[in-house]
Amino acid sequence: QNRAVSGRVTEAETGQPLPGVSVVVKGTTIGTATDGDGSYTINIPATGATLQFRFIGYASVEKVVGEASTVDVALGSDTKQLQEVIVTALGVEREEKSLGYAASTVQAAEITKARASSPMNALQGKVAGVNISTASGAPGASTKVILRGYSSIGGNNNPLYVVDGVPIDNGAGNFQAGKEGSVDRTQDFGNRANDINPDDIASISILKGASATSLYGSRAANGVILITTKKGKVGEKLSVDFTTSATVSAPAFLPQLQNTFGQGWSGEFLTNENGSWGPKLHGKEHLWGNVVDNSQQLKLFKAQESNLRDFYETGTSFLNTLAISGGTEKSSYYLSYGNATEDGIVPTDADSYKRNTLSFRGSTQGKRLSASSSINFARKDASVVTTGQGDGGGATLFQELIQIPRDISIVDFKDIHNKFNNLDNFFTGYAQNPYYVLSANGNDYEENRIYGNVSINYKLRDWLTATARGGGDISNGQLKDWIAAYTLAEDSPVLAGGGTNSPGRVNERTRFARELNADFILSSNNDLTEDLHLNGILGYNVNERYSKENFAYITNLSIPGYYNLSNSSDPATVSTTESLRRLYGAYAQAEFSYRDYLFLSLNARNDWSSTLPKNNNSFFYPGVNTSFVFSEVFPEFLPSVLSYGKLRAAWGQTGNDAEPYSISSVLIPGDIGLGFGNILFPIDGRNAYELDNKIGNGLLQPEITSEYEVGASLSFLRNRINVDVAYYNRTTTDQILEVPIAASSGYTTQVMNIGKVENKGLELLLSATPLQTNDFRWDVRYTFSNNRNKVLKLRDGLEQVLLSDNYDTDFVAIEGQPLGVFKGPGYLKDAEGHIIVNESTGFPLQTTQKEILGNAQAKYLMGLYNTFDYKGVNLSVGLDYRQGGLFYSYTQRLTQFVGNTTNTLYNDRQPFIVPNSVVGVDADGDGKIDQDENGNLITRENTTAIDMENVANYWNDSYNPPVEREHLRDRSFVKLREVVLGYSLPSALIAKTPFSSVNISLVGRNLLMWTPENNNIIDPESTTFGNDLTSEVGEFASGPTTRSFGVSLKVGF
Amino acid sequence: CDKEFLDVNEDPNNPVVAPVEYVLPAAITSTASAVGGEYAILGGIWSQYYTQNNGSSQYISIDQFNIQPTSFNNRWTEQYAGALNDYRFVKEKAAAAKEWNAYLMATVMEAYNYQVLVDLYDRIPFDEAGQGETKQNLSPAFRDGQAVYDSLVVRIDKALALPVSGGVDAKLGKGDVVFNGDMQQWVRFANTLKLKIYMRQVYARPQVAEAGIKALYASGAEFLDEAADMAIFTDATSKRNPLYEMDQTTALNSNQNLKASNTFFSFLQVNNDPRLDKVYLPGSGGQKAMVQGTSGISTSQLVPATVSRALILPTAPVYFISEAESYFLQAEAALRGFGTGDAAALYSKGVDAAFEQIGSERMNLYPYPANGSFEDRLETIIVQKWASFAGTYQGLEAFLERNRTGYPETSEVAATNAAYQPGEFTYPVEGITSGKLFPTRLPWPQDEVQRNPNAPQTPEPITKPVWWDVK
């Protein structure tokens, strides 16, 4: 039996009617909205109905109807929304308005919505000034988070991760066959922050500026990511939450290749070539591949347009978390178990990731004493597809895949025992059967990690609390990596065609890491006068970080297929690397608030570090910030559309101390590089040591980062539109840098304090609710950031610092340029800008010095996040946009070299004269191009075309060095990061079930990606170069990233 | 308490001091990595034993004379920051402990290394080099090659004048990867090196060369009668001959790059020289060469697998001065009348030693033209020296000696012309130097030029002769 109720909704302060207010019968989907004069009428059940009145910018109101037939309501402004609680340094919670710096907190629902297995991936495109990218599409791949750009040329640029007040290790699980930073057989087992189960996280706060982080001193130069985990609540009954999701994935972006020319080189069909420089594809049958047992294969000479896509399979990912939480009168508990099981898109389980996490948190409180503890265990089992370039006979999958001619079907190589597909008879000696690479070489990684903390609080006085907090993070990772040995048959066409034998290899690596941390904190809370309030903190911190890596390898395997360190007649090569660093710090903070609208915070920390010279290891980091909520002070002077206004300003300093053992010179085991390969002692029973090429520096100081920021936070139209804007300027001086020095000094590098890097930029967050009706609500959030990075100074006489180089492309730091500039061979040009070519070959000549080809810096980053709610159905769509910058693509290089890329279709591969080219005049025959009286090179018209045989060479940097620039591609993209369509069952529907909440979602991640025309080769976010500055170089055969979609179910009991 | 808690910054992974006998082997191997590794490839191609394969392109820039300032950064670095800095360390430690045997070894190897640098780069950092840590000098001055040569002789003489023990130095033993501590051979190595240094200047400073060599003989100096080489390599990964390690193993994806050059190949063939099978591995159809600098030929016109490639052995020694080279130097000294002995006999011992070194029978090949002109006799000596350096041995020295003497001669015609004389050098078909000039030096490496403000900032063309190259 229903009946009608009507009424009028007004604004509490003014008494004006409010149209468009949503009126809903609680626990049902029955609802309506107020009309133009604030009136409504609604049908309600006969008894027990409660009405909910909701309108953006106002506090919601609930009214029990009872017997009434008229319910009038006055809605007051909602100040809660502005008083968003932010977790600040040391885990202290503060209202947003009291902060003098930009900070953002992201809540659990946002983090777990799209079911990413890594917590940070879920924040992509959602927070201004935060650049988050995933190294590759492989399961468990590293996530890189950079706040406000790169500051440190040679050091660490990753933020500090703090979980429940205790720093954790975010070490990168990157391995490579060569030295640090090399691209030989790179393997990425993910960074350690990805060990955290996203379902266990209550919120993530991001502190970007130095003022916000200076309490962390020497470790906070790159910002801090504060993760607060879920806990039980005192006094709440037991609840059980179960979340499960299943997603499938596919390659998001594969190289778009040419389909006009087929196998061969220099225009001829050659059956053993690994390239598509052959004749035009004519579609007729022809014989191809090697002759085996007097037989040869027959196929159509036509493009296999999807041969790469066909190679990949559907990846799967399952994420489950079961959490139990609750509390008694005085204590609380939370227990969760989570597992993630992923198998990537590469056939076989060579790309798989399993993570099991177990967490327990508990707290108890007495009259004065309270204690809490958290223990987390994570176990990770992973195998990855090796990327980068092959080494030691171990070819890498992607490198082999992308050099297969366009007319050859890749999936047909699947049977590696087929006589045409095996090692001896594979069609080319320049590449290996990718299926062989996949089956023969592999790796297993296992990591066990335990981390947690214990915290004890004692209330000394009502206003004074003492806290002792201890934390630990201990992990042990073990990697076994193997390359199969083989010997090609004497009469193998592969051997004759350039193929080599593999001696095989086994690597065993164990990495142990331990971080211990303790804090003793006194915190106070005083009303100094009626209007003036003081929060004070005094603290002392001790931190120790230790790691040890044991590494051993053998080559020349005796028994094929048996991978153990004993399986070689050559001795194993072994090494042990330990690292220990300690730090203690004393810190203080005073936060004054006056009448809740004026806030001032002063903080300071002094650190003593073991990695700095003994007599000069103490460093001071101050910070100050202030916030002024002017809308509270003189609301009468403000236009009525402005509902809230705050101005803020902050300044602070943080640091980055030296790496251990940087202050003195040492000798190292004899290891003589040869260009390719090396000579390694001991040899013939003789051992050797050599002077390290690095000069230690006994005068090192920490890097100092100083940063100021100003900002404003404004709300309009009763908080329906919110704007937060920040401008910051961060300068990092005394950079600790291993500076390259002239080898004639006897050394190649010295660790020095040099250089100055500036990052400045604008961050904008705009959130609004453009539309709200009774049933429908649309929220939009837009972020914009444009970090401008510049190397202000290196050192006198030091023109550049080489950060990384690939073939002839250097990635360098140069004064006056953004940090990370690409340089490559330049075209030799005359005064009019014509390209000067070699008269006999027609190939461009190169300049003696490399020229700047561009940089890796984005012009700006933007994120757009839309949420639509309609009667319990929720749709969110997140877009992420990056504009500008270049990246180096080895995938482009290799596919171009073999004639698979579309740019090689230039001029239909017919002979051509280099456009805009001339030849140099050498009248006096001295071997140099003559110059006129102004010193300009004398040139004349070029009539030499690149001939047919050399068209392929034109695209090859060995013949045509300046073409190297073709390997740099535009880094811009737009990605449809996440789409989530969710439905929460109405509580009325589940009232009679054991469930307290049920939510079903369809989720999609990275569903679509747009890249500029210039990049049709690979996802520009891919990287093979680790997790720091050098990752900005680009990628080295890193394989495709993935898109994923699936379903998620969340049930509460 | 605080001091101790933070006092954990001593490197547990690497020593801060080491006895000299553990530093010498690394230093000598660094020198060997240059002359027996990348420079062996450079020398092997520029001495026209090898040319770049047409199915791959690893060394194409060397074959085309397209050398960039970046091309040999690594070797320059290995010589200065690897070899020479370690020799300096050994000399300082040895002098402090009065270990004069070790001091002589480091001095001789240091001089050997510096001569290679002068011969390739002309002006180089010398007296101010290696002072990065001791004197914080990060930008050493460059010195003229001639001044360096003079100083090298002074340094060797100074070390020889010290009380070096006779017999075998057991303490140095395994640390001496050249002679296993045999000090008599080290003295001979020192003398032979002096002879080589003087001989190199014979056209640029005839009087200095003559006086120096005569004084050497007058002092009763003995010369090497066995090779000064590094012969400790074993066939295991990273413990093999450097050329093998870098060119023939999986470090590089293909071992097909170095192919038989028609120049040396035709010389061996026309003389029925059995060394042909020791220098080259036959292709699929037997022994066959390709014309120098023709790597651009289509692989269908010239099937790469049919061309002979370089025969490189994993355990081949790296020669600093071979026994044959010692005799050829002495033969030239005798020919010029600077030294005692019979030029013809010394020449013959040189050819014998060369055949013995490679494991072939000389039979009666290559008689000495006793009645020929001075130039005929000199040419015979130098051409045989060139032949003795072939393959994995001393391609770099062959290149330098050709720059000094002009032998073997350059052909007037192309290798494919009927008038071509086997063994004469031909300009690489795809060479890029103007005027078809052969290279005579390397450009100063970019790393040095960019990092050292005292380095010459104006590059010289690679075809500009070094100071002693005046003939």
Of B84, B245, B430, the CB nearest to A677: B245
Has residue A593 been placed in a domain?
A: yes
Contacts A–B by Cβ distance under 8 A: 291
CA angle A764, A765, A771 (to 5 degrees): 135
pLDDT score recorded for residue A107: 86
pLDDT tens digits for A730-789? Answer: 999 998 888 888 999 999 998 889 889 999 999 999 999 998 887 889 999 999 999 999
CATH number at A714 reads 2.40.170.20
**B20-227+319-451 — its CATH code?**
1.25.40.390
Taking contacts as CB-CB distances below 8 angstroms, the residues of chain B near A390 are 253
Has residue A406 been placed in a domain?
A: no
| Cβ-defined contact of B129 to A746 (cutoff 8 Å) | yes
Do residue A705 and residue A742 come from a single domain? yes
Do residue A866 and residue A732 come from a single domain? yes
Domain that holds residue A52: 2-75
pLDDT score recorded for residue A1: 65
User: Which chain A residue's Cα is nearest to B19?
Assistant: A689
Query: What distance in Å separates the CA atoms of residue A62 and residue B426, rounded to the nearest whole number?
Result: 98
| Cβ-defined contact of B251 to A665 (cutoff 8 Å) | no
pLDDT score recorded for residue B251: 66
pLDDT score recorded for residue A78: 65
- Percent helix, percent strand, percent coil in chain A, to nearest 5: 10, 50, 40
Do residue A19 and residue A111 come from a single domain? no
C-alpha torsion sign, points B389, B390, B392, B395: positive
CATH number at A32 reads 2.60.40.1120
How far does the CA of residue A396 sit from the closest CA of chain B (Å)? 12
For B80, which DSSP code? I
Q: Which residue, B314, B310, B321, is CA-closest to B233?
A: B314
How far does the CA of residue B300 sit from the closest CA of chain A (Å)? 7
Residue A564 vs residues A393, A506, A509, B175, B221: alpha-carbon distances, Å: 17, 7, 12, 32, 56
Do residue A71 and residue A114 come from a single domain? no
Residues in CB range of B308: below 8 A, 6 or more apart: B259, B260, B265, B280, B281, B282, B283, B287, B288, B289
Of A674, A676, A741, the CB nearest to B132: A741
CB B76 within 8 A of CB B70: no
Question: B2 pLDDT exceeds 70?
Answer: no
Query: What distance in Å separates the CA atoms of residue B300 and residue B295, rounded to the nearest whole number?
Result: 12
The verdict on whether omega for the bond into residue B25 sits within 30 degrees of 0, i.e. cis, is: no
Query: Strand pairing of A800-806 and A860-870?
Result: unpaired
Taking contacts as CB-CB distances below 8 angstroms, the residues of chain A near B11 are 660-661, 664, 666
Question: B129 pLDDT exceeds 80?
Answer: yes
The complex scores an ipTM of 0.94
User: Which chain A residue's Cα is nearest to B4?
Assistant: A610
| Cβ-defined contact of A686 to B174 (cutoff 8 Å) | yes
How far does the CA of residue B138 sit from the closest CA of chain A (Å)? 5
Mutate to test the interface with A, among B3, B7, B14 (most CBs of A within 10 A): B14
Of B131, B239, B453, the CB nearest to A746: B131
pLDDT score recorded for residue A576: 93
Taking contacts as CB-CB distances below 8 angstroms, the residues of chain B near A516 are none
CB A891 within 8 A of CB A396: no
What are the backbone dihedrals phi and psi of residue B102, each rounded to the nearest 5 degrees, phi first?
-60, -35
CB A568 within 8 A of CB A556: yes
| Cβ-defined contact of B27 to A692 (cutoff 8 Å) | no
pLDDT tens digits for A115-170? Answer: 888 888 888 888 888 889 888 888 889 899 999 989 888 878 999 999 998 899 88
Mutate to test the interface with A, among B6, B33, B235, B433 (most CBs of A within 10 A): B6
Query: Strand pairing of A618-628 and A642-656?
Result: antiparallel
Do residue A119 and residue A64 come from a single domain? no
Query: What distance in Å separates the CA atoms of residue A888 and residue B411, rounded to the nearest whole number?
Result: 45
User: Which chain B residue's Cα is nearest to A953?
Assistant: B296
CB B410 within 8 A of CB B292: no
Has residue A405 been placed in a domain?
A: no
Query: What distance in Å separates the CA atoms of residue A137 and residue A249, rounded to the nearest whole number?
Result: 9
Do residue A1031 and residue A986 come from a single domain? yes
State the angle between helix axes of B343-358 and B374-388 in degrees (0 to 180), rounded to the nearest 10: 20
How many domains are there within chain A? 2
Query: What distance in Å separates the CA atoms of residue B69 and residue B446, rounded to the nearest whole number?
Result: 5
Has residue A302 been placed in a domain?
A: no
Query: What distance in Å separates the CA atoms of residue A763 and residue A755, rounded to the nearest whole number?
Result: 26
C-alpha torsion sign, points B39, B40, B43, B44: negative
Q: Which residue, A111, A88, A119, is CA-closest to A223?
A: A88
User: CB-hemisphere CA count at 13 Å for A928?
Assistant: 14
Taking contacts as CB-CB distances below 8 angstroms, the residues of chain A near B429 are none
pLDDT score recorded for residue A476: 95
pLDDT score recorded for residue B3: 60
Query: What distance in Å separates the CA atoms of residue B323 and residue B332, rounded to the nearest whole number?
Result: 14
How far does the CA of residue A767 sit from the closest CA of chain B (Å)? 48
Has residue A939 been placed in a domain?
A: no
Of A660, A684, A693, the CB nearest to B81: A693
| Cβ-defined contact of A687 to B22 (cutoff 8 Å) | yes
What are the backbone dihedrals phi and psi of residue A431, each rounded to the nearest 5 degrees, phi first?
-145, 165
Taking contacts as CB-CB distances below 8 angstroms, the residues of chain A near B3 are 614
How far does the CA of residue B303 sit from the closest CA of chain A (Å)? 9
CB A106 within 8 A of CB A126: yes
User: Which chain A residue's Cα is nearest to B307?
Assistant: A496
pLDDT score recorded for residue A545: 96
Has residue A608 been placed in a domain?
A: yes
3-state secondary structure A579-646: EEEEEEEEEEEEEEEECCCEEEEEEEEEEEECCCCHHHCEEEEEEEEEEECHHHHCHHHCCCCEEEEE
Has residue A208 been placed in a domain?
A: yes
Last residue of a domain, one of A36, A55, A75: A75
Query: What distance in Å separates the CA atoms of residue B16 and residue A683, rounded to the nearest whole number?
Result: 22
Query: Strand pairing of A694-695 and A749-772?
Result: parallel
Q: Find how far residue A949's CA is from the centre of its chain.
A: 44
Residues in CB range of A115: below 8 A, 6 or more apart: A245, A247, A317, A319, A1001, A1003, A1005, A1046, A1048
Taking contacts as CB-CB distances below 8 angstroms, the residues of chain A near B57 are 956, 958-959
pLDDT score recorded for residue A83: 58
Number of neighbours of residue A857 by Cβ within 10 angstroms: 22
Beta strands per DSSP E along A825-934: 835-837, 851-855, 860-870, 873-883, 886-889, 917-920
Taking contacts as CB-CB distances below 8 angstroms, the residues of chain B near A498 are 55-56, 253-256, 304
Taking contacts as CB-CB distances below 8 angstroms, the residues of chain B near A580 are 8, 12
| Cβ-defined contact of A741 to B451 (cutoff 8 Å) | yes
Taking contacts as CB-CB distances below 8 angstroms, the residues of chain A near B74 are 673, 675
CB B261 within 8 A of CB B293: no
How far does the CA of residue A662 sit from the closest CA of chain B (Å)? 8
| Cβ-defined contact of A689 to B455 (cutoff 8 Å) | no
Which residues of chain A register pLDDT less than 70?
1, 78-83, 392, 927
Taking contacts as CB-CB distances below 8 angstroms, the residues of chain B near A953 are 296
Has residue A896 been placed in a domain?
A: no
Taking contacts as CB-CB distances below 8 angstroms, the residues of chain B near A616 are none
Question: B1 pLDDT exceeds 60?
Answer: no
Q: Which residue, A967, A901, A954, is CA-closest to A406?
A: A901
CB A429 within 8 A of CB A406: no
pLDDT tens digits for B102-115? Answer: 999 999 999 999 99
How far does the CA of residue B11 sit from the closest CA of chain A (Å)? 5
Place of tokens 């020799």: B87
Last residue of a domain, one of A32, A58, A75: A75
How far does the CA of residue B470 sit from the closest CA of chain A (Å)? 17
What are the backbone dihedrals phi and psi of residue A289, each rounded to the nearest 5 degrees, phi first?
75, 180
pLDDT above 70 covers a percentage of chain A that reads 99
How far does the CA of residue A900 sit from the closest CA of chain B (Å)? 18
Beta strands per DSSP E along A773-816: 776-785, 788-793, 800-806, 809-814
| Cβ-defined contact of B298 to A949 (cutoff 8 Å) | yes
| Cβ-defined contact of A744 to B252 (cutoff 8 Å) | no
User: Radius of gyration of chain A from Cα atoms?
Assistant: 32
Residue B284: band (very low, low, confident or very high) from pLDDT cuts 50, 70, 90 = confident
Taking contacts as CB-CB distances below 8 angstroms, the residues of chain B near A497 are 55, 304-305
What are the backbone dihedrals phi and psi of residue A1032, each rounded to the nearest 5 degrees, phi first?
-70, -10
CB A918 within 8 A of CB A836: yes
Query: Strand pairing of A352-365 and A331-343?
Result: antiparallel
pLDDT tens digits for A558-615? Answer: 999 999 999 998 889 899 999 999 999 999 999 999 988 999 999 999 999 999 998 8
Three-class SS state of A25: strand
Taking contacts as CB-CB distances below 8 angstroms, the residues of chain B near A680 are 238-239
CB A122 within 8 A of CB A134: no
Taking contacts as CB-CB distances below 8 angstroms, the residues of chain A near B80 are 743-746
The helix or strand, by DSSP H or E, that contains position A705, with its residue range, turns out to be strand A703-716
Mutate to test the interface with A, among B2, B13, B110 (most CBs of A within 10 A): B13
For B78, which DSSP code? I
Do residue A51 and residue A124 come from a single domain? no
| Cβ-defined contact of A740 to B447 (cutoff 8 Å) | yes
Of A670, A695, A742, the CB nearest to B139: A742
Residue B408: band (very low, low, confident or very high) from pLDDT cuts 50, 70, 90 = very high
